[in-house]
Amino acid sequence: MAAMMPHAIQLILCTCPDRNTAETLARLLVSEGLAACVNIAPNLVSIYSWQGQIESAEECLMLIKARQDNYPAIETAIRKHHPYDLPEIIAVSVQQGLPEYLHWINTCSTAK
């Protein structure tokens, strides 16, 4: 049986219009201790409904790994610095993972 983690972990998904925006947000979240790691997946195509129209856009996807108790501060930071009126911010609870990696997320994502 695995040891209990001190804090629950989450994966937050957030799309950005370009790599520069994603890198800026990622560096902010990691430097502030809100996230342990942010992966940026480029060249994503999003198709969505916006104001009654079907739209498509090339975007980058940020995969943000952090403690769940950091979510409010992460959401606030993204809302403040993101160029979209309505940024995608979706948090998914992590149920399992390599224990050492999850421990690393816990130790790295402690807000300053």
What digits encode the pLDDT tens for the residues 65-89?
999 999 999 999 999 999 999 999 9
Using one digit for the tens of pLDDT, what is the confidence trace for 23-49? 999 999 999 999 999 999 999 999 999
Bridge partner residues of 15 (DSSP): 61
Cα separation of 36 and 42, whole Å? 20
Give one word for 32, left, alpha or beta, with left for phi > 0 and alpha for psi -120 to 50. alpha
CATH number, domain 9-108? 3.30.70.120
Check residue 110 and give its pLDDT. Answer: 77
Q: How many CA atoms lie within 13 A of 87 on its CB side?
A: 25
DSSP designation for 33 = T
Q: Any residues with CB less than 8 A from the CB of 30 and at least 6 apart, and which?
A: 36, 37, 38
pLDDT of residue 5: 45
Average pLDDT for 12-23:
98
Collapsing DSSP to helix, strand or coil, 2 comes out as: coil
Q: Are strands 37-50 and 9-16 parallel, antiparallel or unpaired?
A: unpaired
pLDDT of residue 111: 65
Residue whose C-alpha is closest to residue 93's, from 83, 77, 81, 105: 105
